[in-house]
Amino acid sequence: MTRVRPAFAALAAVVGILCVLLGLVAGRVDRAVTSGEAARTVATAALADADVVAQASQAIARAAVAQGQELTDSRAGDLAIAALQGPLESLAAQVLSSDQVRTAVAAGITRVETRLVDELTARERATAPFTVGVDIGAELNARLDEVPVVGAFAPDLEIAPVEVEVVDAATFDQVRTAYAGIRFAGDWLAWIGAALLAVGMALSRRRARYAGWSVLGLAVGALAVAFAVGAVAPRALASAMPGGESGGLGAFVSTFLSDSGLAGLTDLMMQVGIVTLVAAIVALVIDRRRGAARDVSGAGSRAEATVRGS
């Protein structure tokens, strides 16, 4: 029993520290989703993706051409409008990539954030991509006068908001699974870890020393995470996840975490590391002083017993 208690205490400390660290990391990642940071990251990345912009531009141009042909009364007019699809695609691509549209998306990020959280946490969701609605009608109409012929009826065009696919269906299903685990870890792991550390302290004979070394382990772990995360980009971190970028966690990291998101995680773990390091030093100093006091008291008791025996 004498050897079992310290072994269980040490095991509880190691597992508890890991749980606390994982819980803190998961909680910070979850906040990136619920705060809108992840929605902003994925929407901005989508509008910077040439393939996504090209697909959206084609859809907008087709809709504009169809609407323009409805306004003409002749076959020749229809052909003339159809010939403008290429220029319209180019113009739509310019608008989608413009600062005005990105600003509009950022301004409406609360709606995207709410939708993202709802779709990530929905119990039942059909396999489908995650899309962001972008309304470029006003900006596109303002620039249509740059295109020959179209400018004459540009004010009559009504361009419906376009749904831009920001996460494909298969990836979003993986992300949903990963996010469920992240939310659980963020809600419970830190508490589970704290409970394990408390159990270990109850099993330990020298509790101040146990607390000091446990908190020191937490400090070292937090600082190690801070330095590791601060040294890599989101895509590199995603590659290090189980299953790589194609796995659920890897897909989540590469899709929703930006450099600023990782910077926030780094700052959090650095703060935790510094605070717990100071706490560990204080606890170990207290334990050492108590040990010295016990040694002095024990030496005095032994000397008194010797004197009495003589």
Residue 301 lies in a domain: no
Single out the residue in 114, 147, 169 at which a domain terminates. 169
Identify the burial level of 242 via C-beta atoms within 10 angstroms of its C-beta, where 0-12 means exposed, 13-18 middle and 19 or more buried.
Answer: exposed
With tokens 């995470």, the residue in question is 225
Dmax (CA) for the chain in angstroms is: 128
pLDDT tens for each residue of 294-308: 554 554 455 454 545
Domain identity same for 232 and 280? yes
Q: What are the CA-CA distances from residue 80 to residues 92, 93, 263 (Å)?
A: 18, 21, 52
Residues 79 and 9 in one domain: no
Q: What are the beta bridge partners of residue 133?
A: 163
Q: Which tens digits make up the pLDDT trace of 187-213?
A: 999 999 999 999 988 888 877 788 888
- 57 found inside a domain: yes
- Rounded to two decimals, what is the model's pTM? 0.72
Residue 174's contacts (CB-CB under 8 Å, 6 or more residues apart) are 247, 248, 251, 252
Q: What pLDDT digit, counting tens, does each position of 129-178 carry?
A: 888 776 666 666 666 666 555 555 554 566 666 777 777 888 888 888 88
Of 121, 146, 169, the residue that ends a domain is: 169
Print the domain residue range for 55: 43-169
Q: At 301, which helix (H) or strand (E)?
A: helix 259-309
Q: How far apart are CA 112 and CA 126, in angstroms?
A: 19
Instruction: Tell me whether residue 304 is in a domain.
Output: no
Report whether 215 contacts 21 (CB < 8 A).
Answer: no
* Token reading at 71: 């306004």
